[in-house]
Amino acid sequence: MAERQYPLGRTRNIGIIAHIDAGKTTTSERILYYTGVSHKMGEVHDGSTVMDWMEQERERGITITSAATTCFWRDHRINIIDTPGHVDFTAEVERSLRVLDGAIGIFCAVGGVEPQSETVWRQAAKYHVPRIAFVNKLDRVGADFFRCVDQMRERLDAKPVLLQLPLGQEETFEGVIDLVRMEALRWDDETLGATYHTEPIPKEALAEAEQWRERLLEQVVDFEEALMEQYLETGTLSAEAIEGAVRQATLELKAHPVVCGAAFKNKGIQPLLDAVVHYLPSPLDVPPIKGLNPRTGQEESRLADDEAPFSGLVFKVMTDPYVGQLSYIRVYSGKLDVGQTVYNPIRERRERIGRLLRMHANKREEVGAVRAGDIAAAIGLKQTTTGETLCDEKHLIVLETMEFPEPVVQLAIEPKTKADYDRLGVSLAKLASEDPTFVSRVDEESSQIIIAGMGELHLEILVERLLREFNVEANVSRPQVAYRETVSASASAEGRYVRQTGGRGQYGHVVMELEPLGRGEGFVFEDATAGGVIPREYISAVEKGVREAMEAGVFAGFPVTDVRARVVDGSSHAVDSSELAFKIAGSMAFKEAMRRGGVILMEPVMDVEVVVPEEFLGEVLGDLNARRGQIVGTDTRAGARVVEAKVPLAEMFGYATVLRSVTQGRATHTMQFASYEEIPAPIAEAVANRTWVGVDRKRTVA
């Protein structure tokens, strides 16, 4: 076996998490540039960024995919896993947090800690991801390094450990002061910041630097008591001792090292990379991955070791215009070779690894194998979708499955021609394999295609891709709330589909009981018939019929959920029974039982958080009340009021605009799906009577 070029200890799998506009794209690009992978430095404003390679991402200037890019720094391999910043992509963020070992949080020195960075930071905490912080944009007017650090402490519960101070600020920002080695760093403009030099800390900045150095040393001896003696005796600590103690505290989530700079001005990037190497974990520093053996239900774990049985997680599937479908895999244990056959324990299928690619910023590199702790993209997987495990067939393991939130917003697409219709079908299937938070179905009555996703922006991006990438012409409705139907009480009904007038007839007969399930429990199908009154092969036809009826809904055309359907009786005919007849009978029984039990219409309700200055609190509360909102609580955070409320999604469309005008742009809000809840009767009536697949404000996109 060839010597491994980068041992596990010198691998870093990291993500960059940030609020939109904090400078994630700019920082990522500078990282790729300085690590020598990127040939030219693209700027966000001229659209030639390296990471944002999907056309529309460039236009929007936001990063929505989570691919992995490899670069090298000081003899370490760094895999950067892209994490989207917008809350509509919560599932993508969670998915990327699962496979990375550490993260950089980027904060804007002017805007400070925004609600969205708060969401992602908390998600990272939930997955026990060690983090370092980069305070960016120190060159901008209004930049305030210390305010930003205070906000991290107050709003994020972070434990900042300042390793640097800015040298100057706003228009006088010149470089950084390194508190570990007590020196100043300045970047050379001629090389676009590729080179920098160290010099003594300028006199006027020395007093403040010494004061913060003192704080740093106190924190360090607090982390590692063994250093106390050295500190008391000499009054100082070596750089190595500081780095070692801060590393350990960071890995234990007791510290968040803070460095700073201005990515756009090419300042601060190399020390940030040094911090990644110094303080963020290698795959060896994180606990062994856990999972379940699907046969025995026993917990299993895998060490990050090349010799262990292979296990890996497919965390992103995407279509690449040149090589086809790419499946990004994080290998947790063992080794994955080109040509090897691995096993997908969820689908119970074998998969062959056709090729393996490592993705750099501007090129793809074919590799023969990937080992424990590493990340690469595989070509040739046919059955495996995002979030599924691959493993050694003799050593089964299903890594912790990810939960995907409910799609709560939907819209209708009406392809213009038959050819468009066909193309749309193919592209929808492709998109669904890339993105498990997106679903599509055909509305029986209108033959329109309904797609549902996590939010307005999510759907808008999907539609753009469908129409553009796959060249489909269609009319598109505006996004609307994805309602659901369920049954209010248990009921049973009979479905009979019998046609026996001459020749071969049809005979299907089913008796079914329906029962409401708890919110979010989905659908359960049971066969409780005895004595083979319905032959086995027709039971699955009955289930199919029920599922189809559920998709189309019974009351107002919305999908049915949270029900248990139990087939309790029925009969069959030796000649006339068929799958079709039982499918129809199943669907009839289901619809009738729904009607008898009483149909409830449900709507998605969101957890909404609004951060607003005190003076506008009254307006915001009043407005939320008018939106059928339920105020859960109010709090004070860093001088602003924080309102938490539960509000039906239907009332939240266009909220950002209203909030802006009511508060003169001084409030921010975030929202996340909470649950499906019953709609009050008068509103349910209105929803049911609306031809919701709106033709109003229809957009035509060529």
Q: Which residues bind ligand GDP (CB under 6 A)?
A: 18, 20-26, 44-45, 61-63, 136-137, 139-140, 262-265
Look up residue 450 and give its DSSP letter: E
Name the minimum Å distance from CB 54 to ligand GDP. Answer: 14
Phi, psi of 257 (to 5 degrees): -60, 140
Quote the CA–CA distance of 28 and 66 in Å, as a whole number.
Answer: 13
Name the minimum Å distance from CB 461 to ligand GDP. Answer: 15
Quote the CA–CA distance of 196 and 175 in Å, as a whole number.
Answer: 9
Quote the CA–CA distance of 466 and 426 in Å, as a whole number.
Answer: 10
* Minimum CB distance to ligand GDP smaller for 188 or for 210: 188
Best CA proximity match to 674, nearest among 618, 619, 630: 630
Name the minimum Å distance from CB 371 to ligand GDP. Answer: 31
Angle, in degrees to the nearest 10, between helices 203-223 and 239-251: 50
Name the minimum Å distance from CB 316 to ligand GDP. Answer: 19
Name the minimum Å distance from CB 379 to ligand GDP. Answer: 29
Half-sphere exposure of 340 (CA within 13 A, CB side): 18
* Minimum CB distance to ligand GDP smaller for 237 or for 272: 272
Question: What is the pairing mode between strands 76-81 and 11-18?
Answer: parallel
Helix (H, G, I), strand (E, B) or coil at 311: strand
Name the minimum Å distance from CB 268 to ligand GDP. Answer: 8
Best CA proximity match to 269, nearest among 395, 473, 106, 143: 106
* Minimum CB distance to ligand GDP smaller for 209 or for 262: 262
Q: Kindly report the three-state secondary structure assignment for every residue of 585-645.
A: HHHHHHHHHHHHHCEEEEEEEEEEEEEECHHHHHHHHHHHHHCCCEEEEEEEECCEEEEEE
Quote the CA–CA distance of 627 and 621 in Å, as a whole number.
Answer: 10
Residues 6+ apart with CB under 8 A from 18: 24, 85, 105, 106, 107, 117, 120
* Minimum CB distance to ligand GDP smaller for 92 or for 351: 92
Quote the CA–CA distance of 672 and 414 in Å, as a whole number.
Answer: 29
Name the minimum Å distance from CB 28 to ligand GDP. Answer: 8
Name the minimum Å distance from CB 264 to ligand GDP. Answer: 3
Structure tokens at 481: 């709330």
Name the minimum Å distance from CB 144 to ligand GDP. Answer: 14
Quote the CA–CA distance of 121 and 167 in Å, as a whole number.
Answer: 27
Name the minimum Å distance from CB 280 to ligand GDP. Answer: 19
Measured distance between the N- and C-terminal CA atoms of the chain, rounded to whole angstroms: 54
Question: What is the pairing mode between strands 160-162 and 256-260?
Answer: parallel
* Minimum CB distance to ligand GDP smaller for 83 or for 219: 83
* Minimum CB distance to ligand GDP smaller for 114 or for 460: 114
* Minimum CB distance to ligand GDP smaller for 201 or for 263: 263
Helix (H, G, I), strand (E, B) or coil at 495: strand
